[in-house]
Amino acid sequence: MTDLFENPVGLNGFEFIEFSAPERGLLEPVFETMGFERVASHRSKDVDLWRQGGINIITNYEPRSAAWYFAREHGPSACGMGFRVRDAKKAYDYLLQQGAEPIQVETGAMELHIPGIRGIGNSIIYLVDRYDEGGNELSIYDIDFEYLPGVERHPEGCGFKLIDHLTHNVYGGRMAYWAGYYEKLFNFREIKYFDIKGEYTGLTSQALTAPDGKIRIPLNEEGKSGGGQIEEFLRQYNGEGIQHIALICDDLVACWDRLKAKGVPFMTAPPGSYYDMLDGRLPGHGEPIEELRTRGILLDGTTEGNEPRLLLQIFAEPQIGPVFFEFIQRKGDYKDGFGEGNFKALFESIERDQVNRGVLEAEGAK
């Protein structure tokens, strides 16, 4: 894929998302129900590799590591992410020149040194230049990890292929700071801006894309009224951080069926009127409405020129603290949408969940 604009760091997509928790047994069932399999363990650290398609998830329990301390503060959480770069040393040197905060990454004997910088909420962004793009290239896992005996190294799982995007929840007034962080360091650019009003609360979202077009990060900030889902996340998480990770597939209806069979809990579906209005909102979309309705799958995009360019999406309930997963499918080369047409429906479904849990008080109950 050709870069969209100048790519000074040499970004080339997500390599992994790193998770940690105060103890084992909290993360693993969540990944298993989503179709991930543990395929390898680190040679010297208490670290495992989970995989599905081209998606890599790292679980890190190494005592007194950055991940270990992160989990003590935030509980079960996403504590880091790996960005693919063409040359890790050059990328690291450039980022430090731009003002990035360096991170001391402990490296054992005969292990790769993977440089990192400080990211959202004291997480780490790792710079990885050893990765497999499908040509059996030597990756960090081939060097630093040992694959489990007889394991399928690239399990199909529930059918998800890649990380499409992930979001950050930030404190009020901090969106400009984090947008500037990604713009100055990596030359990200804004592609979408939303101001969402729910029934009780609101939020503002600014979506950024990297020069490679493969790393996309929407930033979410609580609306002026306060008391909503972003504020709840920040309170429960003890700070800013990764709110959700979106996984992409080729057939969301089929993937939903596999997820449901494995026991993934989904967020509350929108009301039936949402599906009754789909044909009017997206005329000629061509999707089976009843199949979407029975599964609670949301639909967004455009059908201008009788050429449907669509996004199908659904969200799991938070199971890693307040962090949750999104499952999506893109059709007709619809690359830049994040379901903004669905944001209100999603926002209100999360509000309904908050009302059910007693976090929000419904207007009629006041």
Residue list, annotated binding site: 165, 244, 326
Contacts of residue 84, Cβ cutoff 8 Å, sequence gap at least 6: 11, 12, 13, 14, 15, 128, 129, 131
What span, in angstroms and rounded, lies between the C-alpha atoms of 123 and 309? 35
DSSP state of 61: -
Strand ordering across the sheet containing 124-128: 102-103, 116-118, 124-128, 77-85, 11-20, 55-60, 47-52, 37-42, 145-147
Say how far apart CA 288 and CA 286 lie, in whole Å.
7
Q: Using CA atoms, how far apart are residues 38 and 131, in angstroms rounded to an integer?
A: 18
Identify which of 1, 353, 65, 11 has the alpha carbon closest to the alpha carbon of residue 189.
11
Judge residue 235's burial from the number of C-beta atoms within 10 Å of its C-beta, 0-12 exposed, 13-18 middle, 19 or more buried: exposed
Binding site, annotated residues for Fe cation: 165, 244, 326
